[in-house]
Structure 1
Amino acid sequence: MEKTCHIIVKGRVQGVGFRYFTKGEADRLGIKGWVKNLDDGSVECVCTGDEKNINAFLESVKKGPRFAKVTEMTVEETDAGEHFDAFEIRL
């Protein structure tokens, strides 16, 4: 069953390779969507894929890369309203 989530990640998540880590995990798990930095220092992500893989993706994102420190992560199931062909880093 396909699942789509909108995620906001807060903490030390910019300047630590967080978006590239997120893309790597998405590609590894067959997740599609996007990730981008926000002006307030947080990271936003929309991801869609198989529910089992989305759950694994969320667990990875919650931990982040080595130098990241996630202090808060909000996840909302959503209908993306758009089709994704891959997972991309948006600027």
Structure 2
Amino acid sequence: MTAQRLLIEGRVQRVGYRDWAVRTARQLGVIGWVRNLQDGRVEILADGEDVALDTFIDRCREGPNMAAVERIDAHPSELGNVKGFTKRFTA
């Protein structure tokens, strides 16, 4: 398992993206967190089995119904000591 840091651009704030990401990650067994960034992007740090993580990233490209994802940058990252998948405050 290799954790991934996702930076998601587009219409991704005020559309329920974080809540959607939490539900989707938990359904897939992915751990990590999601938060809004002050520049309008959403940041996700996620880890899980390869297939689950790939599926989660693919679903993040679509997001919830009201979202319009324009771009996702994904980079390997360290997850640290995280349990479950949570929503964090804006950074």
* TM bucket, shorter chain: over 0.9
Number of residue pairs matched by the alignment? 89
Q: Is 2:24 the partner of 1:25?
A: yes
Instruction: State how 1:60-75 maps to structure 2 within 5 Å.
Output: 60-75=59-74
Q: Is 2:46 the partner of 1:47?
A: yes
Gaps of 5+ in 1: none
**Alignment root-mean-square deviation, CA:** 0.7
Gaps of 5+ in 2: none
TM-score calculated relative to the size of structure 1: 0.95
Where 1:73 maps in the other structure, the secondary structure is strand
1:30-63 per-position Cα deviation (integer Å, ceiling 9, x unaligned): 0100000000000000001101100000011110
2:82 counterpart letter in structure 1? F
Where 2:13 maps in the other structure, the secondary structure is coil
1:9 counterpart letter in structure 2? I
TM-score calculated relative to the size of structure 2: 0.95
Contact persistence 1:3–1:54 (CA under 8 A):
no
User: Following superposition, which runs of at least 4 residues in structure 1 exceed 2 angstroms of deviation?
Assistant: none
